[in-house]
Amino acid sequence: MKGAVSFGRRGGSARTPAKALAARQNILIRWHGKNEDGVIPEQALIDGAWYQGIGRSAPIALWDAAHAVFRTMSWSSFPDPALFPEGGRRVYRLKQERHSFREGGTFSPMRLIPIYHHEEKRGD
């Protein structure tokens, strides 16, 4: 049928890495459940995946399962606050935060950000 109008989701039933990652996260959340305030438990997190949530230094973080921390990047303080505003530009820092369910933890993941990892295709 030439010129037919298609309704529904864009992309249809095509399998993409982003959809596969989101499906895996949904399965883990169903298995382990979410906290009453919407926080995804540590057991349901996927290593190397990005999460949106509430954190001390940033609202988006990468989960590093090997070290059990979230990796965040934030632009924080000036190099020397005493020299503000002539003291230079703000400093970008890589930081790490523990899951909020752990002692001293400050990042609460609320939702997965399905980002495809291109390194898998390159074969590095």
Residue 4 lies in a domain: no
pLDDT, one tens digit per residue, over 75-105 is 766 566 666 666 666 677 788 888 888 888 8
Least confident of 21-25, 28-32, 74-78: 74-78
Residue 71 lies in a domain: yes
Mean pLDDT on 52-56 = 90
**pTM of full prediction above 0.85:** no
Residue 39 lies in a domain: yes
Q: Is the pLDDT of residue 5 over 80?
A: no
Q: What is the pLDDT of residue 70?
A: 92
Range of the domain at 71: 17-122
3-state secondary structure of 108: strand
Residue 6 lies in a domain: no
Total domains in the fold of the chain: 1
Rounded CA Rg of the chain: 19
Residue 3 lies in a domain: no
